[in-house]
Amino acid sequence: MISWRSTWSIYTRELMRFLRTAFQSVLAPVLTTSLYFIVFGAAIGGRMPDLGGVDYGAFIIPGLLMLTLLGETTSNSSFGIYMPRFTGTIYELLSAPVGVAETLIGFVGAAMTKSLILATIILLTARLFVDYSIAHPLLAVFYIMLVAAAFSLFGFILGIWADNFEKLGIIPMLFLTPLTFLGGTFYSIDMLPKPWDTIALANPIVYLVSGLRWTFYGSGDVDIWISFSITLGFLAICVGVIAYIFKTGWRLRA
């Protein structure tokens, strides 16, 4: 049986850690989003045709949102579990009567809350630069939370795997960010010449950006159900890996 008191304690601790660095966590996405809109939305967007009947400035909003969410969610989650390992306080969590379910729900719940806060701030910032509407707002919220949960767990795994601060930033910096830029953040896959349009589909971030873009404008580069399936599959894999880590104590009890 899940101890909701333990879950709430983990959730509030993680959320308070985010709020203590709120200035950095909020200001950076706002400035980055503003710069992207100034460069791509204003300078380049005026020369771009509408994509699927959507103004270019509005078209890039889901991609920019996903770019920020993936980086912030992964980094926050990985740092959240790495620091207790680094300081040795992880043993307090391991020795406490707290199960895997409570730990994951607490960490993931906090990550999802932080992602919704960031998404709201980014969308409000985008409103200053371009007019847009969301075709399926409830699905958009659900999909944002789903992606946040998946990459929170991914960051959790990354924070357990890393044994120094350098490794903590390798995956987000060298893999996650480039894949997001190449995942249709600023363009549609249909704009790519052959065979690059087919090769681009090997990038898993394409499906995430396309799924979020569908919730905004009702169209995407791939079928929405494929995007949902891939996201759920990635989430399930991460849950399985973390369950194995807690069962075996890999890098937790070392």
Cα(55)–Cα(45) distance, rounded to whole angstroms? 8
Residues 6+ apart with CB under 8 A from 51: 59, 188, 191
Q: What is the dihedral of CA 109, 114, 117, 120, to 10 degrees?
A: -90
State pTM to two decimals: 0.90
pLDDT at 72: 84
pLDDT at 137: 94
pLDDT at 165: 84
> Tokens 């100034």 — which residue?
38
pLDDT at 42: 66
Q: What are phi and psi of 120, to 5 degrees?
A: -60, -45
pLDDT tens figures, 180-197: 989 998 888 988 888 888
Q: Show the low-confidence residues of the chain (pLDDT under 50).
A: none
pLDDT tens figures, 116-157: 888 888 888 888 888 889 999 999 999 998 999 999 899 999
Query: How many residues in the chain?
Result: 254
Cα(164)–Cα(45) distance, rounded to whole angstroms? 41
Helices in the chain by DSSP H: which ranges? 4-20, 22-36, 56-59, 61-87, 90-95, 100-127, 137-161, 165-170, 177-181, 196-200, 204-217, 224-248
